[in-house]
Amino acid sequence: MNTKQSPIKISATDANQRFSRLLAESEQGHEVVITRRGKPVARLQSIHQPKSETHDIGSPIDSGIPDFEIRRELIAYCRKMNDVGLNQGTSGNASARVSGGLLITPSGLDYERTEPVDIVKVDMEGKVLRGHRNPSSEWHFHCRVMAAKPKAGALLHTHSINATTLACLGRDIPPFHYMVAVGGGRDIRCAPYATFGTEKLADAVLEALEGRIACLMANHGMIVLGRDIDDAFKRAVEIETLAAQYLKALSIGKPQLLTVGEMNVVLEKFKSYSAWADPKR
């Protein structure tokens, strides 16, 4: 049986006069909310009162939202990409494939404040099917890429420091290291510059992703596909590491590149690692 009682609300002036009584109310299990000019400014809660279970993302009442767990995952990985330095602030975005379209992060909302209900569902043309917020301004390339890559389950876009530095130089990441194959091919291309949130950028990205599952975008950032958002995140971490290594190598001299044949051997070995992302799909 739920015995939790409603909070007691009281003005700061009255609180000064009734503090002893308020302590007693708190000890009896009441949550006491103190207000000033009608706005909450403090709360008293007994240290003996059991703490209720907290939910970092969403709450039990949200669980009726369609694709609730996928929404939670998108938010969790967007927070994580900021925590580990793959992204900063509200830049970057993510999407995941669901029945009937995509779930995509909302435009301009801090990831720490984003809740499952804020995630927007769109169809492959970018039409909003469910949601009270605007989808990411980059919905164009999310929709176009996911429609063109039917085996991909998620797309992650970041403004990571090293990958973006190379993108601002307009540089591809060549086969200086065998792990470049995590991008699905013998190199990681850099798409030419186009204004963010435009069809022109989506066109450029699609071309750079031909036979690939990752690319850079000139003067912008990185895009990575995955079987799911966890897979996309792990690949993004790997590509950001490669970008850092390549920049370090360039600072010393000209890196030695692997041959086409050597990279073909690596790609063959990587088939089990990226079976879902066959470039011939």
Say if residue 124 is in the same domain as residue 258: yes
pLDDT-above-90 percentage for the chain: 73
Identify which of 170, 178, 145, 143 has the alpha carbon closest to the alpha carbon of residue 262.
Answer: 178
Say if residue 171 is in the same domain as residue 270: yes
- Residue 52: which pLDDT band, with cuts at 50, 70 and 90? very low
- Across the range 109-118, mean pLDDT stands at 95
Range of the domain at 36: 8-44
Say if residue 39 is in the same domain as residue 142: no
d(CA 135, CA 119): 8
Q: Could you give the residue ranges of the DSSP H alpha helices within the chain?
A: 12-17, 19-27, 68-83, 139-148, 161-168, 199-208, 229-252, 260-269
d(CA 250, CA 268): 28
d(CA 9, CA 76): 34
- Across the range 97-109, mean pLDDT stands at 97
pLDDT of residue 277: 72
Residue 78: give its domain's CATH number. 3.40.225.10
Say if residue 219 is in the same domain as residue 118: yes
pLDDT-above-70 percentage for the chain: 76
User: How confident is the model over 121-172, as pLDDT tens digits?
Assistant: 999 999 999 999 999 999 999 999 999 999 999 999 999 999 999 999 999 9
pTM above 0.85, yes or no: no
Q: Kindly list the distances between the CA atom of residue 125 and the CA atoms of 53, 112, 137, 145, 261, in Å, as whole numbers in the listed order.
A: 40, 28, 14, 11, 39
pLDDT of residue 281: 44
Which residue numbers are catalytic?
A: 138
Domain count along the chain: 2
Q: Is residue 87 part of a domain?
A: yes
d(CA 11, CA 118): 34
Contacts of 217 (CB under 8 A, 6+ apart): 167, 190, 191, 193, 201, 204, 205, 208, 223
User: How confident is the model over 55-65, as pLDDT tens digits?
Assistant: 468 766 566 88
Q: Is residue 3 part of a domain?
A: no
Q: Is residue 52 part of a domain?
A: no
Q: Kindly list the distances between the CA atom of residue 206 and the CA atoms of 24, 199, 209, 255, 271, in Å, as whole numbers in the listed order.
A: 66, 10, 5, 28, 22
User: How confident is the model over 227-263, as pLDDT tens digits?
Assistant: 999 999 999 999 999 999 999 999 999 999 999 999 9
pLDDT of residue 37: 65
Q: Which two tokens stand for residue 64?
A: 């009726």
d(CA 153, CA 141): 15
